[in-house]
Amino acid sequence: MFQTGMCPKNKWIYLIYGLLLFFPLFAFPQKSKSQLEQEKRNAISKLKEAQKILEETEKKKEVSVGQLNALNQQIVASQSIINSISSEITIYNDELLELNEVIESLEDDLDHLKKEYATMVYSSYKANYGLRNILFIFSAETFNQLLLRARYMDQYTEARKRQLALIQEVRSSLQDQIATLETKKLEKDQLLNQELSQNKSLVTLRKKQNTLITSLSKRESEIKKELQNRKKAIARLDNLIADIVAAEIKASSKGKSSTAIEMNASETALSKAFESNYSKLQWPVATGFISAKFGTNPHPVYKRLKVPNDGIDIQTNENQEVRSVFEGEVKRVAVVPGGMRYVVLIQHGDYFTVYAKLKQVFVGQGDRVSANQRIGIVNTNRNGTSEVQFQIWKNTQKLNPENWIAKK
């Protein structure tokens, strides 16, 4: 007459509800919304920073590579914002799709249970308000069988109530989540508007980029001359640093043949401390972006022309303070013609950091400096570009500074 076993369909309801308790929303392989929001904030900060730098370079009537670098940085930041927004929208869409499917499935189960419950009530009604059930109990052949049948009926009734209550609870829980996601839908719409606006800005930036490249391409002879002057300045700076490092190696080795600085205990500790800050060193300037990478790179306009770089160039704001990235001793303050202007070289055990293109210096040879200490002011060239050249050496080996400084 009655069945105590749970039907297979209802078992799935308990399973789904259990999963919802342990996994409030389904897990996705994408980055989280908070991570994407942080990336977006960082990109917006870079965009504003590059815009300010571009405005400073545009004060000069003549177009320059510095303007193009700042514009390129804006384009990169703008594209990063769009990518973050697009990824956020994808997450919203996936969550809504998954939850709506679960809601539909549970609503079907709930309808099924309601029909079962209605059938049970109707059957009880036809049996004269439970008279058949009473007959079932009292038709037992023994007293023990009567007790078992009575207990069975109580358990059956309670099970049906709990079952219905559970499904209603699940449905209520999912409706709450849907209500939350309805709010998120509005947020998604706002993101779509942001994406549209950012795409329009990106189109404008790319048009400006093309115009700037066209203007610069008409100055090939001038740019080639600037490139030759840069190569000469880099060679002078390279020779200066190499001579200083060689002198330090010779002095520390006390006449013995050596290719590395021989250090005492304190110098060794300083070197290890510097080395332990790999990828964590602060930037030599508070604002800016890497406008020229380490090694040999194509010119931003004339791709066939190769531009050598023993360090990285960081384009920044006018009159920006240049600071030591780590504690150490100033080994040399020099002037290098050809655009490098003032150069400061700081020793950190067998490591050296180099800061060039300074218009003013606040330290002298032999000074002990601490991390983040102000050592000079960045120079602004005749084209309105404010840029610092930053290098890292270990003995005679040139290292890529971009790998050493913290990621922005």
Instruction: Report which of residues 335 and 173 the model is more confident about.
Output: 335
What is the per-residue pLDDT across 254-304, written as a single tens digit (0 to 9) for each? Answer: 778 888 999 999 999 999 999 999 999 999 999 999 999 999 988 888 888
Burial class (CB in 10 A: 0-12, 13-18, 19+), 29: exposed
pLDDT, tens digit (0-9, with 9 covering 90-100), for 152-183: 666 666 766 776 777 677 678 777 877 877 88
Check pLDDT > 90 for residue 395: yes
Choice between 66 and 19, residue whose per-residue pLDDT is larger: 66
250 by Cβ neighbours in 10 Å (0-12 / 13-18 / 19+) ranks as middle
CA-to-CA distance for 313 and 330, rounded, in angstroms? 21
The separation between the first and the last C-alpha atoms of the chain, rounded to the nearest angstrom, is 72
The whole-angstrom separation of Cα 76 and Cα 290 is 12
| pLDDT at residue 200 is higher than 60 | yes
DSSP codes, 274-334: HHTTTTTBPPSSSS-EEEE-SEEEE-SS-TTSEEEESSEEEEE-TT-EEE-SS-EEEEEEE
Segment among 35-39, 339-343, 399-403 with least mean pLDDT: 35-39
Record the pTM: 0.72
Q: How many CB atoms lie within 10 A of CB 351?
A: 22
Mean pLDDT of all residues in 100-115: 75
**What digits encode the pLDDT tens for the residues 209-249?**
999 888 888 887 888 888 888 889 999 999 999 999 999 99
Q: In terms of C-beta density within 10 A (0-12 exposed, 13-18 middle, 19 or more buried), how is residue 362 classed?
A: middle
What confidence category does residue 68 fall into, taking pLDDT thresholds of 50, 70 and 90?
very high
pLDDT digits (tens, 9 = 90+) for 76-98: 999 999 999 988 888 888 888 88
Mean pLDDT of 6-33: 52
Report yes or no: 338 and 229 within 8 Å, Cβ to Cβ. yes
Please compute the mean of the pLDDT values over residues 52-74 and round it to a whole number: 85
Q: What's the whole-number average pLDDT of the chain?
A: 83
Domains parsed from the chain with CATH numbers = 8-217 (1.10.287), 221-404 (2.70.70.10)
**How far, in Å, CA of 393 to CA of 331, rounded?**
13
Whole-number pLDDT of residue 131: 45
Check: CB of residue 385 under 8 Å from CB of residue 288.
no
What is the mean predicted confidence (pLDDT) over 100-113?
75
Residue 110 has pLDDT above 50, yes or no: yes
Residue 4 banded pLDDT, cuts 50, 70, 90: very low
DSSP summary character for residue 261: -
Could you tell me the pLDDT band of residue 143, with boundaries at 50, 70 and 90? low
